[in-house]
Amino acid sequence: MNLRFSKTPRTLKALFALFFIVPLFTPVNFVIIQPGDGTPLFPKVLTISQSDAPTYTSDGQIFLLSIWVSNPDAKILGAEVIGCWVRADCVVLPRSVIYKKNTSTKEEQKKSKIEMKTSQSDALTATKALLAKRYPKIVTSQLTDQSIKVKLPNIGGPSGGLIFSLGLIELLTPENILQGKKIAGTGTISAGGEVGAIGGISEKIIAARKAGATILFASKKNCDEIPESDSGISVIAVSSLEEALNYLQNPLLEDFRGVTGCTSLRA
């Protein structure tokens, strides 16, 4: 009896490997974004030189939020992209959305450090102006950029501006502004005290909850990116540093959970 063996199964296996398995281990032109950590500012991360201005101990905590973004030089495999897609706290974006063409990790790190330094300087300027308006007896004339020490070796970018300002206000004022609360925030700050939008707002809300914060300040310019269904934390959208301070001094509802300050939210 003569037997004939078809080569079709072997061909199908090769095609399956070509179209389904090989791409899993092939680098793709995407960036992966995930929630980072909530770093507490007190007592070690944010400090002020005692010789330049008296400071006060806080009984609460302020968290600086971060997100994890893969480097422009990182080789992201297809399997990693699929693994990210199936997770609720992970985002995949085309590399061109996050990074300029031909940029390098070294260039991006340098840029991020410059942006953070600028945000710290603007935060100090905005804080001094608000203190002069609301607490004229507090002398800040001796405070300079060199008076402020921030220990964040692996974090960069401008999104910590608002939270730096709130941290400085808490340290420089005798009033117990936090009243034991754990708060977080994200948003750029201008020298005039305006709060600007940032990227990765959804991931930073997750980071705030993980850190144990009960209040998160965000920019009103991020309202259309804030999830409407978010719960477990009070998300307060503000347009200025003074609005954030006003809320801390006169909270709308102590047990409020949800989003306030927005007219539009992400579905």
Distance, C-alpha 172 to centroid of its chain: 24
The highest-level CATH class for domain 35-68+105-260 is: alpha beta
The answer to whether residue 215 scores a pLDDT higher than 80 is: yes
**Residue 198, class by beta-carbon neighbours within 10 Å (0-12 exposed, 13-18 middle, 19+ buried)?**
buried
Q: What is the pLDDT of residues 159-206, one digit of tens each?
A: 999 999 999 999 999 999 999 999 999 999 999 999 999 988 999 999
Structure tokens at 216: 């998160």
Distance CA 22, CA 32 (A): 20
Q: What is the pLDDT of residues 10-40, one digit of tens each?
A: 665 555 555 556 556 677 889 999 999 999 9
pLDDT score, position 60: 96
Write down the pTM of the prediction.
0.86
Following DSSP, what letter does each residue of 21-60 receive, concatenated?
IGGGGSEESEEEEEEEEEEE-TTTTEEE-TTTS-----SS
Residue type, 136: P
Instruction: Please state the φ and ψ torsions of residue 39, each to the nearest 5 degrees.
Output: -95, 120
